[in-house]
Amino acid sequence: MTDTSAPEAGDAYEFTTDWLRYNVANWRKIFSENRIETILEIGSYEGRSTCWMIEVLSARAALEVSCVDSWSGGDEHQVGGRFESSMPEVERRFDRNVTIASAKAAHKVTVKKYKNLSNLGLAEVIAERRAPYFDLVYVDGSHHAPDVLTDSIMAFHVLKVGGIMMFDDYLWRLDPHILNQPKIAIDSFLNVFQEKMVVMHDLTIRQLYARKIAA
């Protein structure tokens, strides 16, 4: 699964979606150039992005992945939505997929689930860690701008200086209302935190990537 985002023949993974494939080139570059041993993922769904990160990074060192997800889905996963899903089934596939990825790993992998709305899950993570802890944060939960802004600000406090924040769906326009898109939130966060976060300009921007430069 590491070369593309598609499961290889023989993999026992159960994936029904592939939102990762557009980002694999950027991710491969980021992951090869940075030491990443602690990850906070907001929005894990059935674990495709989680498993890709586990496969790539656990080949080098032990890895801890903290996953915050309500496993109740965003608007797009509800009945009649574009990606209508049975969320209990999605969570079952997540559990199974990360178990498979972890079992294949060369180094120890610890996956911790925070099953909650992201503001509450992130409050738990912050209370547990109390200080910057993560090398990488992946913001891929709700697409509503107020949620994306909240997720970004809360996650900033547990991202190490030098660490990277990856924002999914920077250019997502499925819902025409600007407040139902992540972009205005990501732009707002990076503007207000401009003395603490820099955009990584050498990457294509379907997603947006920024590095923390100050506490």
Residue 172 binds ligand SAM (CB under 6 A): no
Q: Pattern 58-97, binding to ligand SAM, x per CB under 6 A?
A: -----------xxxxxx-----------------------
Nearest to ligand SAM of 113, 129 (CB atom): 113
DSSP 58-84: TTTS-EEEEEEE-SS--GGGSTTSTT-
Q: Pattern 24-63, binding to ligand SAM, x per CB under 6 A?
A: -------------------xxx--xx--------------
d(Cα 143, Cα 44) in Å, to the nearest integer? 14
Cβ atoms of 161 and 152 within 8 Å: the answer is no
Cβ atoms of 197 and 213 within 8 Å: the answer is yes
Binds ligand SAM (CB under 6 A): choice among 14, 19, 92, 160: 19
Quote the least distance from Cβ 106 to ligand SAM, whole Å.
23
d(Cα 3, Cα 117) in Å, to the nearest integer? 32
Q: What are phi and psi of 165, to 5 degrees?
A: -115, 125
Nearest to ligand SAM of 102, 118 (CB atom): 118
Nearest to ligand SAM of 72, 180 (CB atom): 72
Residue type at 29? Answer: K
d(Cα 118, Cα 180) in Å, to the nearest integer? 16
Instruction: State whether residue 166 is helix, strand or coil.
Output: strand
Instruction: State whether residue 112 is helix, strand or coil.
Output: strand
Nearest to ligand SAM of 144, 212 (CB atom): 144
Quote the least distance from Cβ 15 to ligand SAM, whole Å.
8
Binds ligand SAM (CB under 6 A): choice among 102, 118, 181, 207: 118
Q: What is the CA radius of gyration of the chain?
A: 16
Residues that bind ligand SAM (CB under 6 A): 19-20, 43-45, 48-49, 69-74, 117-118, 140-142, 147
